[in-house]
Structure formats: C-alpha cells, structure tokens
Structure 1
Amino acid sequence: MIRSAFALAAALSAPVAVQAQTGDLAAVQRHLQALTTMTAGFTQTDRTGKVLTGTFTLKSPGKLRFQYEKGVPILIVAEGGALTFIDYSVRQVQRWPIKNSPLSVLLDPSRDISRYARLVQTGNDRVVSVEASDPKHPEIGRITMIFARDAAAPAGLALQGWVQLDSQNNRTTIRLTNQRFGVPVSDGTFKWVDPRRSTTR
C-alpha cells in the first residue's frame, strides 16, 4: 500500500537497503524527464504534526506552486531559477536558488539522478522510493520521493509525495492526491504579488 511506503519513508533514521530492481532508478529519471505538467491536491505535515492542505502545480522546467488553503497567508513558488517563500501575514519574502533546495530533484530533470540518489526498499513491488541528497552540501537536506507504478502516468510512475528533511533534521511530509499529468498550465500560474509593495494577495 502507498500508506505503508510513507510510513517507511517517514522513518528516515532507520537503516534502509537498495531495491533489487536496478532499473527503477532509471525509471524515475525517465519519469522526471517526461513530466511536463502536473496538478494535485496536497496535505503537508510538519515536524510538530501541524497539517495544512492546498493545491500543488508543477510545470517543467523549473516551475512549481504550493497554493495553501484559504486562510493560510503563505505561498511557495519556484520560477526563474529561484524558490520563493512568501508570508503575507508579515509581508516577508525569502528567495534562494532552486539548486539549494531538495526540490531541485523535481525541478531540474536534466541532472543525472544516479549521481545523488538511491533506491530505498519499500517491501511493495507497486511502490518505488528514492532518497536524494548531496553529500557535498549537507546543508541542503534530503528528500525521499514516493512513486506508485501507474501505466497511465509519465514513464509508468505517479508521484505520491515526499518526505523532506532539512539540515536540522526537521521533517516535512507532503502527500499528493488527485494527480493529473500533462494538463494545460499557464506560466501566469507562477506569478505572485509582492507583499512588500501591496497588501493584496
């Protein structure tokens, strides 16, 4: 079950083994390269157990948007080589290079995933789990992505979500639902209002 795969991925401190299916890492690479657009609902759980929901949109190359539920004054957007965190409640904007985020795995499919990622055993042939990190830059953190085999999805894999750890081992879990691939997504989706210039979201 996908749920059991997430339970395993959440236990990142436990020893893990490489899956026997050596072709799965290459399949993940093909999936990332074939992924043009994706929309989904998301549920985010942070290290304290706080849960937020919203809509996730991705467009290759290099664009994504986390639109949180109504009443949550936070927006996360990736575009133009930067990942931007906007907090409208305090009119704060933080930006850093996408390459300095674990999400670069999703946003830069040109990178050779075999150089910085490994398969994680799930105990389920229908689930593929990949952990990615850069040992030269541990401050970036690491990400464990969960995929389900799905013939209708790009390269036969459908992203179910991921578990992200920062350099302080703070864990954030993202679960995706109602995934749609190859749907029209306007570049305008990734525009945002700068709260430092306006109070309108």
Structure 2
Amino acid sequence: MKILRFVLPALVALSTPAFAERITLGELSRYLNELQTAEAEFTQVNSDGTISTGKLFIKRPGRARFEYAPPDKTLVMAGGSQVAIFDPKSNLGPEQYPLSKTPLNLILAANVDLSRNKMVVGHSENGAKTSVTAQDPEHPEYGTIELIFTGAPTELRQWVITDDSGSKTTVILGALQTGVSLGSRMFSIPAEIEARK
C-alpha cells in the first residue's frame, strides 16, 4: 500500500523513569478518545531508510494532516473518510484511498476501544514505554499499527505502520500539544484540491 510509505512514522530518547508498569488497554483507549486535537513536529523513517520531517495535526475523529518539510513538500490529509496524498511534483490530482483501509483509522476512529476482540495483537512494556500493536479485526490484511506510549502522564510518542506487504514506516513525535484550535478546512480534501487549481 503506497499510502503507508508516506503517511506514517525511533530516534527519540524518552525522558521518563527507567521502569514503569505496563499501561492498561482501558487507559490507552481513554487517552486516545480524549485526544480531540493535537499538533506536533514529527520525524518519519521510511521503509527504505530515508528520513522525512514535518508537522502533524490531528482533529479526531477521522482527520489528520501531515505537512512535510522541504525539500519534500508532500501533503497528506485524512478527512471525509479518505486519505489524500498531494505530490507537488505531480500535475495530476491527489492519490486517494479509503481511510478505513489504513491502520491509521484505528487511532482516528470516533470511539477507540483497544479491548475489542482481536484488535490488539501485542501489548508489552519495555522500561518506560508501553507498546500496543493493533489491527482491524475484520481486515487484518490492511496491516498493523504499533503505538508506543510513555506514562505518568500517558502520552503517545511514536507509531510504526506495517503495511500489507510487510514494509514498515515509523513516525516519531516531538512534544505533543493538545487542545489546540484547528479549523475544519485544514482537513478538507476538496478545498485543498480547489486551492491548488
């Protein structure tokens, strides 16, 4: 799935106590459901080893925007149940995919419930980090997303998408600012298409 190469993305040192208890699935679900809006700088490590940087904006449910820094300048948007990749080098419209067919949908859903049957296929603790690997239980062929959190307080720090071909894309988040004001137009694929005409 080409989209996953662009969309999602450890080079980050996690500055929390060296040992912590594994965060429960209930607490992680609560955290994600309370995460309504957020923005952060990100570093993306692609499956071929190349690195991209940029800024991420999230407006749950169902909306995200990845603005890649020069020289890349790619824009990836999730909104209106679609994901669109705007390539500045292309004269064609954006590549579009159903959001529901990407693991990103699992964290942008209106109601995240990690305890749902067969959604979580891995849940572990490693020092200060808790890792959860999730998939769409009805469509495991869409790939998985591994979410990495720190505790006290719970915070999403990184994710790793494994697509249907086994390729991995890692996104490492900088400081996550939550409760920010984000306009709906930032996530409107039709509005972005119109603005680029």
Band of TM-score, shorter chain:
0.7 to 0.9
* C-alpha separation in 1, matches of 2:70 and 2:13: 30
* C-alpha separation in 1, matches of 2:166 and 2:104: 16
Q: Is the 8 A contact 1:142 1:166 kept in 2?
A: yes
Bigger shift: residues 106-115 or 53-62? 106-115
Q: Which residue of 2 aligns with 1:172?
A: 169
Provide Cα deviations, 1:29-62, integer angstroms capped at 9, x if missing partner. 1011111111000000111110000000001111
Q: Which residue of 2 aligns with 1:143?
A: 145
Q: Which residue of 2 aligns with 1:123?
A: 126
Q: Which residue of 2 aligns with 1:187?
A: 184
Count of residues in correspondence between the two structures:
178
Provide Cα deviations, 1:104-127, integer angstroms capped at 9, x if missing partner. 121104142212124432322x32
Q: State the TM-score, normalized to the length of structure 2.
A: 0.80
Q: Give SS of 2:193's match.
A: coil
* C-alpha separation in 1, matches of 2:143 and 2:195: 29
| Root-mean-square deviation over aligned CA pairs | 2.6
Q: Which residue of 2 aligns with 1:161?
A: 158
Q: Is the 8 A contact 1:29 1:109 kept in 2?
A: no
Supply the AA of the counterpart residue of 2:143.
G
Q: Is the 8 A contact 2:32 2:112 kept in 1?
A: no
1:31 is aligned to 2:14: no
* C-alpha separation in 1, matches of 2:122 and 2:25: 7
Supply the AA of the counterpart residue of 2:105.
S
Q: Give SS of 2:126's match.
A: coil
Deviation (angstroms), 1:138:
3.0
Q: Which residue of 2 aligns with 1:102?
A: 103
* C-alpha separation in 1, matches of 2:44 and 2:76: 13
Runs of 4+ in 1 over 3 A off after TM superposition: 1-5
* C-alpha separation in 2, matches of 1:48 and 1:143: 18
Deviation (angstroms), 1:183:
1.4
Q: Which residue of 2 aligns with 1:45?
A: 45
Deviation (angstroms), 1:197:
6.2
Q: Which residue of 1 aligns with 2:3?
A: none
Q: State the TM-score, normalized to the length of structure 1.
A: 0.78
Q: Is the 8 A contact 2:121 2:135 kept in 1?
A: no
Q: Is the 8 A contact 1:37 1:181 kept in 2?
A: yes
Q: Which residue of 1 aligns with 2:5?
A: none
* C-alpha separation in 2, matches of 1:140 and 1:56: 22
* C-alpha separation in 1, matches of 2:176 and 2:196: 34
